[in-house]
A and B are shown apart, each in its own frame.
Chain A
């Protein structure tokens, strides 16, 4: 990372000025203790310097639908007899859908999405998948996160992690030094994994601080200083004593450094995040539930200019092997209501032209239902892109249920074509360098 000071200045939008100035003040003050400390690692001072710099760059929000969303009961080919035949208990008829044309309809839980679609702000990319579909949740999720597939050597770094690495190398003219990806939720998605190990998993900002125990403020500040010293990234991880038995090389210093890095990253961003959350509010009403609360936090962080261009949220529960009908309807309602509340919020705050939302699931589900009124793991399925500036509508062709692979929908569009379109067209980063090869882009952004 080369980052020195702020990126090239852009025309200042007065709307953001207040927020930005306040943020710079509070953000830097929050990080002050560390930034001023002799032990402050370089990346921390960079984060502090970059604070507020994300002002007018484009932002990507990824929504992961975990478990394998049933694409056929999301965008429903109601006119297809083969669909009706394969789904004796789960099929939805044309009248039960929100029709987008004569053959396809959205699930009736997706009323909010139907509005977005009609306004041209929702793209449905049909039959998305990859070669040799893998029906394991874990392997398929890994493929989506890394942008690899089973035809190539396995990669462990995430596609967004590589994007951050590329930005650090200076590929992006709007480069923001010290930028980090933020995942709302309990764990760090593999999509964020990269060499620089940056990325935040943010569940509850209250947990992002170390509390000293000293009764006097002086003792507390001494403790805080010692804590920073103990957790200074790049410090020695070597044991001062000899190990009991030698001969096999240890990997412990790496883990030690990872732990220190994570601790300091949380401390510094915690200060900045709490400062933002103190004065940024959501507009409009969101439904209850985890996805909605994650998106609420994202909207506030965007409004407060938190320095990242990529947010990651997830909604679980799509592994509908049994009793799918009611459960799937509830999941889709939550997905649609939460997402549209988020888009409305951004619109009210005049931030919507800066944000594109991408929704995916690790696979679709088997065309034929199983005997438990559910569906097993499948292959290709639709992906969704939302945003005020995107090219909405249907992309690709409807699923061909007469031409299946092992009973599953064949993919016609590679998911990396969608990634490539967003990297090139929205995040302004050459996709070839992130994905390792050229994937033909789609007209979505």
Chain B
């Protein structure tokens, strides 16, 4: 248990607390980190982990089912000519597109409002909901095309975020969005569809390895009949489509149905290992080795797949605060954006801009790239995405939004009013945003006497830890060079202090250091 022994209480500094809140939530201010540190390690972890689940969250307006059922809609357009039919379909589709955008905003606002001191929106709950969204990934695109089932799925992930893994899997095989996304809704006996059965093991539970192609086929048979009533998007078990015959799955034989398959999956050591590795990658460090995975998997399995207990142990562990873990994980685009906004104590930017920014940074909520979710880690970073992250910082500091945030999303390709949309995007009045971050709101800044003090202040506010030496040196160089290229130290009395300070923060956020937490 060496790696999982608790950190000595005195080492739980404000920087350690900041590390905790970035990992267990979406970051925050330096002041929040100090408050968390004052609770002590156990107090802080208790506060974050032992939250009351939001089981009965009211649905946002955008999550309603279409007022007109599919059947009624098809009936109504039946008599129209093909052009008018297509027009009607586009109207219907566009309404759903608007709704899914609203749902993204709804969720982002929830993440932004989450805080250790806010019992209504526990940060870990939203962080876990995001984890499950990527782990059990379903996309709006192609098959689902409706907001309501994705809201339901999102709420299931939230309500069951720390339930046992078996509970979660049982919810999954009855989740309408997932059943449609992986084609199980149409899978029936005689000719089962293997899509869901395969991913259920490969990506959702055991990982590649412990099963054979035969096991895939047998579990696909067991999952036949787990279907969806498409008109109201409810789960339905179609008895007559279900194959009730005998199956042999992972060495066991019986007339298995879905829950039987899940029970057997949870008996596999591979399942705890696979999930332990995923939890470690998400919460602790990249590429955890088997020495790290083994004790975490043991704990997960021996506790009956109790995630709350596991995270309680992990967040207090030496491992979590080790050099291997601290500042080692690339922030996801959502974490980068929400974390920065929290530090700035400001609101979400206009819908299209924040959604556009997240999309080009590579994380479009409810549109994971495929059933494997977002790969995360270093995969967030490539030549497309990195400078967008840096220019997003410029946008946060100055309200200057790069053109690429204003491009229509890819769904628009089959959309008739793309041109209309582009017109609104060309109208600058529609996209204005003044960042609300008040640089001088803090009395502390008044006490900053030297350029070095100013640099350290903003590093503390935004990075909340020691920077790499290169970064501090470079920032001091910036703070001691004046706008005309001469050498003059920055001072809070400067008339252009605001501009220079924003430039400084922009550069902190344009550093490799800021991409990691």
* A and B from one complex: yes
Residues of A near any B CB (own CB < 8 A)? 134-139, 186-188, 200-204, 206-216, 218-219, 221-223, 226-227, 229-232, 235-241, 243-252, 255-260, 262-263, 265-267, 269-270, 288-290, 317, 319, 321-322, 369-372, 374, 376-377, 406
B113 close to A (CB within 8 Å) = no
The 20 listed contacts between A and B (C-beta, < 8 Å) are A187-B379, A202-B383, A213-B397, A213-B400, A215-B483, A223-B507, A229-B474, A236-B469, A243-B326, A246-B322, A251-B324, A255-B286, A255-B328, A259-B386, A262-B381, A265-B383, A266-B383, A289-B413, A370-B192, A377-B194
Contacting pair A213 B503 (CB below 8 A): yes
B362 close to A (CB within 8 Å) = yes
Contacting pair A245 B384 (CB below 8 A): no
> Nearest 10 CB-CB pairs, A to B?
A371-B191, A241-B466, A259-B512, A248-B324, A266-B383, A250-B323, A372-B186, A201-B382, A248-B322, A243-B323
Which of B381, B391, B407 interacts with A259 by CB under 8 Å?
A: B381
Inter-chain residue pair count (beta carbon < 8 A)? 250
Contacting pair A201 B404 (CB below 8 A): no
CA distance A206 to B407 in the complex (A): 11
Q: How far is the CB of B418 from chain A (nearest CB, A)?
A: 11
Q: How large is the interface on B (under 10, 10 to 19, 20 to 34, 35 or more residues)?
A: 35 or more
The listed residue with most A CB atoms (<10 A of its CB), out of B19, B193, B465, B502, is B193
Contacting pair B499 A214 (CB below 8 A): yes
Q: A248-B323, A371-B193 are in contact. Are A269 and B383 (CB under 8 A)?
A: yes
B202 close to A (CB within 8 Å) = yes
Contacting pair A256 B193 (CB below 8 A): no
Q: How far is the CB of B218 from chain A (nearest CB, A)?
A: 13
Binary contact track B167-206/A, C-beta < 8 Å → 1, others 0: 0000000000000001100111011111100100011000
B321 close to A (CB within 8 Å) = yes
CA distance A226 to B400 in the complex (A): 20
Q: Which of B9-17, B339-347, B423-431 contacts A (4 or more CB under 8 A)?
A: B9-17
Contacting pair B202 A240 (CB below 8 A): no
Taking A204-B407, A250-B328 as given, write out 15 further A-B residue pairs in contact, using a Cβ cutoff of 8 Å, ordered by the A residue number: A200-B383, A204-B360, A207-B388, A211-B394, A215-B483, A230-B474, A240-B469, A244-B13, A244-B15, A246-B322, A251-B285, A255-B378, A269-B383, A376-B194, A406-B213
Q: A252-B516, A321-B195 are in contact. Are A245 and B7 (CB under 8 A)?
A: yes
Q: How far is the CB of B70 from chain A (nearest CB, A)?
A: 16
Specify which chain B residues have a CB less than 8 angstroms from the CB of A263 in the assembled complex: 386-387, 390, 512
Q: Which B residue's beta carbon lies closest to that of A135? A: B213
Residues of B near any A CB (own CB < 8 A)? 3, 7, 11, 13, 15-16, 19, 142, 182-183, 186-188, 190-195, 198, 202-203, 208, 213, 216, 285-287, 318-319, 321-328, 330, 360, 362, 369-370, 372, 378-379, 381-388, 390-391, 394, 397-398, 400, 402-404, 407, 410, 413, 465-472, 474-475, 477-478, 481, 483-485, 496, 499-500, 502-503, 506-507, 510-513, 515-516
CA distance A237 to B323 in the complex (A): 13
Which of A136, A223, A267, A370 interacts with B478 by CB under 8 Å?
A: A223
Q: Which B residue's beta carbon lies closest to that of A227? A: B510
Contacting pair B383 A208 (CB below 8 A): yes
Specify which chain A residues have a CB less than 8 angstroms from the CB of B387 in the assembled complex: 207-210, 263, 266-267, 270
Q: Which A residue's beta carbon lies closest to that of B500? A: A219
Contacting pair A248 B186 (CB below 8 A): no
Q: How far is the CB of A91 from chain B (nearest CB, A)?
A: 15
Specify which chain B residues have a CB less than 8 angstroms from the CB of A269 in the assembled complex: 383
Q: How far is the CB of A33 from chain B (nearest CB, A)?
A: 15
Q: How far is the CB of A259 from chain B (nearest CB, A)?
A: 4
CA distance A445 to B218 in the complex (A): 44
Q: How far is the CB of A243 from chain B (nearest CB, A)?
A: 4
Q: Which B residue's beta carbon lies closest to that of A253? A: B468
Q: How far is the CB of A364 from chain B (nearest CB, A)?
A: 15
Q: Which B residue's beta carbon lies closest to that of A408? A: B213
Contacting pair A240 B193 (CB below 8 A): no
Contacting pair B193 A247 (CB below 8 A): no
Contacting pair A245 B318 (CB below 8 A): yes
Q: Which A residue's beta carbon lies closest to that of B15? A: A244
The listed residue with most A CB atoms (<10 A of its CB), out of B195, B322, B323, is B323
Contacting pair B468 A238 (CB below 8 A): yes
Contacting pair A266 B386 (CB below 8 A): yes
CA distance A222 to B475 in the complex (A): 11
